[in-house]
Amino acid sequence: MTEIQRYAAFTADPRGGNPAGIVLDARGLSDPEMLAIAAGVGYSETAFIVSPEPPPPPPRHLGGPSKAAGYDNPGGPSTYRVRYFSPEIEVPFCGHATIATAVALGPGEHVFTTNAGDVPITVDEHGRATLTSVPASVDDLEAGDLSALLKALHYTDFDLDESLPPKVAYAGAHHPVIALGTRAKLAALDYDVDALKQLMTANGWTTIQLIFRATDDTFDVRNPFPVGGVYEDPATGAAAAALGAYLRELWVVPDDAVLNLRQGDDMGRPSRITVTLTPGDDRVRVSGTAVPITG
């Protein structure tokens, strides 16, 4: 029987953050079986550690009795092949499930080989994990797509922050970034689920990163995720990394900035995400804690 663990990421309280399912040993599970498990768990994503190709050496025992399909790199981190499924689709990369899975594995250095590329993660003794994204990039948002996106979100041009133009940012998955002019407009999220889902599917977007700049280094964010069968994510590590790339690309923050993201507050699941930029590195670091969900 497949063992499923449940963790809340980007929080120290299991009642907050974004819940993630974790299967530390998914060897032998087919794609339909993993999708069915993710649908049964019902969270926005479930992470599955699967056997690398070619088959790895015998698996290690990590974090107690559970087995994970990892393999040792002498003198380096433990490496795992990881896949992520929402209740409806597989996604190339998921930040909150990465943080949760790394914490479940235990303190140390890990590398997750994802569909988007290799993602290094470090976990300290206090259960705080930091992932390093794949190389990030930022592209223009086509005028027609922006018009359709605003219509689906029930926004107009007048709702936007003129100093932060809409773009599409990537750090493992693609996320349009839409900056709003007021916190109240962010709090009043109400979108056309079918229209937004169709638009996101057509463009290969994973979530929509809606933001409000509260201070120079603090942002309130929300993330619709209808393509995954979830109305909204209370914490989104992949979109957080993409936002860091976006802000750096626009010279909104310095290239050594440490940013604080507040997410999930409007859903009653407060999440806190730290984004760190490093000069000369086109990757983005995303940090947070994760705790088991019991009961």
Q: Residue 19 contacts by C-beta under 8 Å, 6 or more apart in sequence?
A: 6, 7, 8, 9, 43, 44, 293
Domain boundary at 132, 151, 179, which? 132
Please check the confidence at residue 82 and state whether its pLDDT lies above 80. yes
Q: Which of 89, 109, 132 is the last residue of a domain?
A: 132
Claim to verify: residue 127 and residue 23 sit in the same structural domain: yes
Name the band, by pLDDT with cuts 50, 70 and 90, for residue 74.
low
Residue 59 has pLDDT above 50, yes or no: no
pLDDT value, residue 60 = 37
Whether residue 54 is predicted with pLDDT greater than 50 in this model: the reply is no
Average pLDDT, the chain: 92
Same domain, yes or no: 120 and 170: no
Same domain, 215 and 266: yes
Does the pLDDT at position 56 exceed 70? no
* Residues 99 and 169 reside in one and the same domain: no
In this prediction, residues 57-61 reach a mean pLDDT of 37
pLDDT band at 76 (very low <50, low <70, confident <90, very high): confident
Residue 77 belongs to a domain with what CATH number?
Answer: 3.10.310.10
Same domain, 68 and 103: yes
- Checking if the pLDDT of 55 tops 50, the result is no
The tally of domains found in the chain comes to 2
Q: What is the pLDDT of residues 151-175, one digit of tens each?
A: 999 999 999 999 999 999 999 999 9
Cα(95)–Cα(9) distance, rounded to whole angstroms?
9
**Is 264's pLDDT higher than 60?**
yes
Quickly list DSSP for the chain. Answer: ----EEEEES-SSTTSSEEEEEES--TT--HHHHHHHHHHH-SSEEEEEE--SSPPSSPEE-SSS-EE-EE--TTS-EEEEEEEE-SS-EES--HHHHHHHHHHH-SEEEEEEETTEEEEEEE-TTSEEEEEPSPPEEEEPPHHHHHHHHHHTT--GGGB-TTS--EEEESSSEEEEEEBS-HHHHHT----HHHHHHHHHHHTB---EEEEE-SSSEEEEEEEEGGGTEEEES--HHHHHHHHHHHHHTTSS-TT-EEEEEESGGGT--EEEEEE--TT----EEEEEEEE---
Q: Render pLDDT for 133-152 as a digit per residue (tens, 0 to 9).
A: 999 999 999 999 999 999 99
Contacts of 89 (CB under 8 A, 6+ apart): 35, 227, 228, 229
- Cβ atoms of 81 and 49 closer than 8 Å: yes
Q: Based on the fold, state whether residues 81 and 220 are members of the same structural domain.
A: no
Instruction: Please provide the size of the chain in residues.
Output: 295
Residues 266 and 169 in one domain: yes
User: Model's pTM, two decimal places?
Assistant: 0.92
Under the phi-then-psi rule, with left for phi > 0, alpha for psi from -120 to 50, and beta for the rest, what region is 268?
A: left
The answer on 143 and 127 residing in a single domain is no
Are 207 and 110 contained in the same domain?
no
Say yes or no: 157 and 255 in one domain: yes
In this structure, the answer to whether residues 126 and 142 fall within a common structural domain is no
177 to 71, 162, 212, 249: CA distances (angstroms): 37, 13, 11, 12
Containing domain of residue 21, as a range?
A: 5-132
Residues 42, 87 contacting (CB under 8 angstroms): yes
* Domain-terminating residue out of 91, 113, 132: 132
Per-residue confidence at 68, pLDDT binned at 50, 70, 90? low
Question: How far apart (Å, rounded) are the C-alpha atoms in residues 290 and 268?
Answer: 17
Per-residue pLDDT reduced to its tens digit, 191-245: 999 999 999 999 999 999 999 999 999 999 999 999 999 999 999 999 999 999 9
Tell whether 116 and 73 lie within a shared domain: yes
